[in-house]
């Protein structure tokens, strides 16, 4: 019984990540397009914006499809981790940004004075940080037995669902 519950949890984790991540990739694909994404990445100082934009778009569209199917799940998780780590390190108000960063304590007092809570909305990396953690979780746990990986990669120690 415990294995079935774990497999259902893995399925929900994969599908949750997929359905939450697909709008990010879809926006880049349909609203910004490749050139708009490259321009956006260049404006934010992302290194090699043409390569990183293509990689981010491929991961944000491809990883959700792979996760829904449970196909190449660790690879999808690794891609998500890579894209989100890149975003946390290069986007405006990124993890180590001067005057921003992970927890902008210097503005916490002002946020409290305004009645908005402990942290203000200055740090925009919260969703990237959450996706990074979720990507790590699916990378570590694997797809579970309710997946294509189970049937296709049964004997592969890297891609087979973990028991």
Q: Which domain holds residue 143?
A: 7-96+125-153
Flag whether 27 is in a domain.
Answer: yes
Q: What is the pLDDT of residue 101?
A: 52
- Our count of domains for the chain comes to 1
Flag whether 162 is in a domain.
Answer: no
- State whether the Cα torsion 120-121-124-125 is positive or negative: positive
Flag whether 108 is in a domain.
Answer: no
Per-residue pLDDT of the chain in tens (163 residues, 90 and over written 9): 577 898 999 999 999 999 999 999 999 999 999 999 999 999 888 899 999 999 999 999 999 999 999 999 999 999 999 999 998 888 766 665 555 555 444 444 444 444 444 444 555 677 888 999 999 999 999 898 899 988 888 777 666 666 6
CA 51, 62, 147 angle in degrees (round to 5)? 145
Flag whether 114 is in a domain.
Answer: no
Tell if the pTM clears 0.85, that is, is over it. no
Flag whether 158 is in a domain.
Answer: no
Q: What CA–CA distance (Å, rounded) separates 100 from 70?
A: 37
Residue 130: strand, helix, or coil? helix
């Amino acid at each position: 019984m415990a294995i079935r519950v774990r497999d259902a949890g893995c399925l929900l984790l994969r599908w949750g990540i997929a359905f939450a991540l697909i709008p990010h990739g879809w926006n880049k694909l349909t609203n910004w397009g490749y050139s708009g994404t490259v321009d956006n990445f260049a404006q934010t100082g992302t290194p090699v914006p043409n390569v990183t934009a293509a990689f981010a778009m491929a991961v944000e569209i491809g990883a959700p499809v792979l996760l829904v199917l449970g196909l190449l799940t660790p690879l999808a998780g690794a891609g998500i981790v890579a894209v989100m780590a890149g975003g946390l390190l290069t986007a405006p108000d990124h993890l180590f940004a001067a005057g921003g960063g992970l927890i902008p304590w210097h503005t916490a007092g002002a946020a409290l004075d305004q009645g908005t809570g402990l942290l203000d909305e200055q740090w925009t990396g919260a969703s990237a940080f959450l996706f990074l953690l979720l990507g790590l979780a699916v990378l570590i746990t694997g797809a579970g037995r309710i997946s294509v990986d189970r049937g296709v990669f049964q004997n592969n120690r890297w891609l087979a669902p973990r028991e």
